[in-house]
Structure 1
Amino acid sequence: MKYGYARVSTEDQKADLQIAALEKAGCEYVFTDTASGASSKRPELARCLESLRAGDTLVVWKLDRLGRSLSHLVAVLSDLQAKGVAFQSLTEAIDTQNAAGRLMGHILGALAEFERALIVERTQAGLKAAKRRGQKLGRRPALSEDQRKHARELLAGGQSPATVAKLLNVCRATLYNSLKDKAG
């Protein structure tokens, strides 16, 4: 079965051109969203992807109607391939049911993998630079040194850990971990 997906960015725009092209391509069902390309809230796309089964085909008018970014597009195409769902983009003449379309899918996948590797490299370089500058990385402590000192005093004075944790507005595990990590 062929499913179509159309998207327009604003309420002022009409999806009529896309829908007509999808119906002409043989789509029995067409899902339509009104959302900016960067928006992750596309309920009709989610419904469409949930409807697809092995042997089905997802058809879009143009690639940029489907993916928010290259990595999102590749993720969707990879999920489709894993489910045994074919993909067609009418404007770019991509059809994963033929060799050229599968090649294009592999090229997009390689580009996304390259993009992910670059992001990892940049993140690691940023973390190293921050460490060299003496910045402390990671989550801030749940309790300040003064709060930890106060907690120790209360516990030494006979207060229960549950009472101390409630007083400091943290759970008991956080209290224990704070005292263990910053003992002194």
Structure 2
Amino acid sequence: MAIGTSSPPGRRFGYVRVSKASQDEAGQIKVLMERGSVQRKGDLFIDRGVSGAKASRPELDRMLATVEPNDTVVLFKLDRLGRSSGHTILLIEDLVKRNIHVESVVDGLNTRTTTGMAMLSLLAIFASMERSFLIERTRAGLDAAAQSGRRGGRPAALTAEQIDHAQEMHDKGKSASAIASYFKVSRSSVYRALGRSSA
């Protein structure tokens, strides 16, 4: 991981995200303008009504394409940036490698400082642990499901009784579309339930 440099600072850009269109981003903007030292509202990139779970966010993508070495990205909080702790760390590490600095006002992170870089390293460790725990829980869940005769993945669209009924309807000449309409599921769900290919 690169270490913050003492080069003259470039421009300061702020990134704001609100997950619901009805939410007001004014509070975040005020903090970035006053405490984050973002000088102009034109230097703010704002994603409105965009969930943090989405990998691609238009204004975030535009900001990442705009910033240059020695610029600084200012955030209200780290959780505004990424869709998970791991994704957030990856974004910050990528920016730091490009010699672009990151500041989080509420979290107190500043990659221009030695303390900030140490904090980022710790966050990376915790993000790695989180990923490991998630993988372990997922595997344990799949193993437990397999031992009890259940399969992993999405729940079945039709119950066992409904599948029997669907098979009877099919045997009597009902089309997959008619069966899907009857059970209010997709036609592909019917094909899967009947053990046929939808091709």
Whether these two folds match at TM > 0.5 is yes
**Is 1:33 aligned with 2:55?**
no
**Counterparts in 2 of 1:129 and 1:5: CA distance versus 1, 3 Å:** same
**Counterparts in 2 of 1:81 and 1:136: CA distance versus 1, 3 Å:** same
**Counterparts in 2 of 1:169 and 1:93: CA distance versus 1, 3 Å:** closer
**Counterparts in 2 of 1:105 and 1:9: CA distance versus 1, 3 Å:** same
> Which residue does 1:149 correspond to in 2?
none
> Which residue does 1:11 correspond to in 2?
21
Sequence identity (%): 34
Paired residue for 2:62, among 31, 47, 60? 47
Distance in 2 (CA, whole Å) between partners of 1:13 and 1:72 is: 23
> Which residue does 1:121 correspond to in 2?
136
Higher helix share goes to which structure?
1
Q: How does 1:1-184 map to 2 (within 5 A)?
A: 1-24=11-34, 25-28=37-40, 29-40=43-54, 41-126=56-141
Distance in 2 (CA, whole Å) between partners of 1:124 and 1:75 is: 24
For the aligned residue pairs, the C-alpha RMSD in angstroms reads: 2.7
Shift of 1:104: 1.4
Corresponding pairs, count: 141
Gaps (5+ residues) in structure 2?
1-10, 153-196
**Counterparts in 2 of 1:16 and 1:106: CA distance versus 1, 3 Å:** same
Distance in 1 (CA, whole Å) between partners of 2:67 and 2:96 is: 11
Q: TM-score, normalised by structure 2?
A: 0.59
CA contact (8 A) 1:55 1:86 kept: yes
Counterpart AA for 2:116 = G
Distance in 2 (CA, whole Å) between partners of 1:122 and 1:93 is: 32
CA contact (8 A) 1:37 1:64 kept: no
Distance in 2 (CA, whole Å) between partners of 1:49 and 1:125 is: 37
SS in structure 1 of the partner of residue 46 of structure 2: strand
SS in structure 2 of the partner of residue 71 of structure 1: helix
**Counterparts in 2 of 1:85 and 1:27: CA distance versus 1, 3 Å:** farther
CA contact (8 A) 1:2 1:27 kept: yes
Ranked by relative contact order (alpha carbons within 8 Å, sequence separation 6 or more), the top structure is: 2
Shift of 1:129: 5.2
CA contact (8 A) 1:37 1:65 kept: no
> Which residue does 1:147 correspond to in 2?
none
Q: TM-score, normalised by structure 1?
A: 0.63
> Which residue does 1:162 correspond to in 2?
none
**Counterparts in 2 of 1:84 and 1:124: CA distance versus 1, 3 Å:** same
Most deviating of 121-130 and 34-43? 121-130
> Which residue does 1:164 correspond to in 2?
none
Distance in 2 (CA, whole Å) between partners of 1:16 and 1:63 is: 17
Distance in 2 (CA, whole Å) between partners of 1:22 and 1:120 is: 36
